């Protein structure tokens, strides 16, 4: 029987030695928490702080419409999932000594790491699903038809987490006290990877479907980069879990796994918000150009743009957006010209004085009023197109919910 320990330092030294010897007898090599783990903890903390600052800056500038279009509420929830994911990795990947509350492997594994990964992925899917529903299916962003699939997705995640919580530790995740490590069951690891792969396949399909939506909300480059990063993380995680399931015992492997999780999860958020935030700080004219695209797409009403102004010296009557520009002012193709407060080439001052001066040259008796010709096929076509745009705007009022 081992005598009681009276010196905490000696106890710690013996305990560490015992752990190394035990893992050696079992055919493994244990590398205790060391400097590389402290680097991982520090880098993760810095990344989390930077991403939180990014989210705070976005909220402080939510009136900047390119930022509003990124659905800040969902993006903020994704940031919260990143933070919980980070703490779950610290415990389950062996970067901290599992003493006290850190010994609750099921808490850190199921509810912090796995649930956060699933929630993060589900929120990414919801962002893309909302764009697909509004722009491709021309349906609203509210109601049970929209929220039904979302609730179903989260119910699946919660049901999975509750189920594995009630299963025996030997099947899911167990705390091995002799070496202070969390050990995962084979079936549990594969079930996690399978569910995560299904969610990201759905995300990839949804991203492919929105590749041709209106330019103001199109995220083709962002989607491609995010899919590549997600594919890398899924493959890397699968290889490590299958070929080196004892990665938590080795400093290099556990640092690689945690760094991969950190970089991919935070990179996706910076890819989503990085451009509008950068433009808000360094490119003041970006919002004007973004609003031009918004007007060409027919969504100026959803963002309270009003009559858009285009700074140009050319009348583009062939534009397919129904909006032409004259000397920096907005022209709707009809009889009205809207003046622009940002006009580079303002309309000339007609210097019209009293009403009598303005109309003294007009004699209505000289010529009869022209008769109104019947509508031409082109006019009928334009009217039909306007009706289609009006119908589309009815479905896209819900874009205000992106703010």
Residues 211 and 221: their CA atoms lie apart, in Å, by 9
The rounded average pLDDT for each run of 10 residues, N- to C-terminus, in the chain (403 residues) is: 43 58 70 90 97 96 86 92 96 91 92 94 90 80 75 89 91 86 91 92 90 72 90 94 88 94 96 90 77 66 48 36 34 36 39 46 51 60 52 46 45
Q: Quick check: 37 and 257 in contact, CB under 8 A?
A: no
β-pairing, 173-176 vs 324-326, is unpaired
Considering the entire predicted model, what is its pTM?
0.70
Give the pLDDT of residue 327. 32
Task: Please give the pLDDT value at position 234.
Answer: 94
Enumerate the H helices of 61-104 as residue ranges: 65-68, 72-92
Give the list of residues 6+ apart from residue 91 with CB closer than 8 angstroms, or none: 98, 102, 105, 108, 109, 112, 113, 182
Domain locations along the chain: 12-287, 307-359
How many other CB atoms sit within 10 Å of the CB of residue 293? 16
pLDDT of residue 380: 56
- CATH number for domain 12-287, candidates 3.40.50, 1.10.3470, 1.20.1070, 2.60.40: 1.20.1070
The tokens for 126 are 């919801």
CA distance 351 to 211: 50
- Give start and end residues of each alpha helix (H) in 132-285: 144-166, 186-209, 220-243, 251-282
Helix (H) or strand (E) holding 181, with range, is strand 181-184
Tell me if 398 sits within 8 A of 69, measured CB to CB: no
Query: Both tokens of residue 157?
Result: 């995640």
Rounded CA-CA distance 183/26 in Å is 14
pLDDT value, residue 305? 52
Which residues face 229 on adjacent strands?
none
């Amino acid at each position: 029987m081992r005598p009681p320990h009276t010196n905490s330092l000696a106890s710690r030294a013996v305990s560490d030695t015992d752990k190394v010897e035990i893992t050696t007898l079992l055919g493994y090599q244990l590398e205790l928490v060391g400097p590389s783990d402290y680097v991982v903890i520090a880098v993760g903390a810095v990344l989390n702080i930077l991403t939180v600052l990014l989210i705070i800056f976005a909220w402080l500038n939510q009136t900047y419409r390119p930022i509003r279009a990124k659905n800040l509420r969902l993006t903020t929830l994704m940031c919260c999932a990143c933070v919980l994911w980070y703490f779950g990795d610290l415990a389950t990947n062996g970067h901290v000594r599992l003493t006290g509350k850190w010994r609750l492997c099921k808490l850190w594994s199921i509810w912090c790491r796995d649930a956060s990964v699933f929630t993060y992925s589900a929120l990414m899917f919801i962002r893309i699903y909302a764009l697909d529903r509004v722009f491709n299916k021309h349906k609203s962003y509210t109601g049970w038809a929209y929220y039904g699939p979302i609730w179903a997705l989260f119910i699946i995640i919660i049901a999975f987490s509750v189920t594995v919580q009630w299963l025996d530790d030997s099947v899911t995740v167990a705390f091995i006290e002799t070496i202070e490590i969390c050990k995962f069951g084979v079936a549990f690891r594969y079930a996690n990877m399978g569910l995560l792969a299904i969610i990201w396949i759905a995300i990839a399909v949804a991203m492919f479907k929105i590749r041709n939506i209106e330019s103001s909300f199109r995220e083709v480059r962002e989607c491609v980069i995010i899919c590549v990063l997600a594919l890398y993380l899924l493959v890397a995680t699968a290889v490590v879990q299958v070929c080196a399931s004892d990665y938590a015992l080795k400093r290099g492997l556990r640092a690689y796994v945690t760094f991969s999780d950190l970089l991919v999860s935070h990179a996706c958020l910076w890819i989503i918000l990085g451009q509008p935030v950068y433009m808000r700080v360094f490119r003041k004219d970006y919002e004007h150009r973004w609003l031009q695209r918004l007007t060409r797409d027919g969504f100026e009403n959803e963002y309270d743009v009003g009559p858009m102004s285009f700074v140009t010296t050319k009348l583009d009557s062939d534009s397919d957006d129904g909006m032409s520009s004259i000397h920096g002012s907005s022209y709707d193709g009809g009889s009205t010209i809207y003046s622009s407060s940002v006009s580079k080439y303002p309309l000339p001052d007609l210097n019209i004085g009293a009403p009598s001066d303005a109309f003294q040259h007009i004699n209505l008796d000289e010529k009869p009023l022209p008769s109104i010709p019947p509508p031409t096929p082109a006019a009928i076509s334009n009217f039909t197109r306007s009706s289609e745009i009006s119908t589309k705007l009815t479905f896209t009022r819900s874009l205000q919910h992106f703010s």
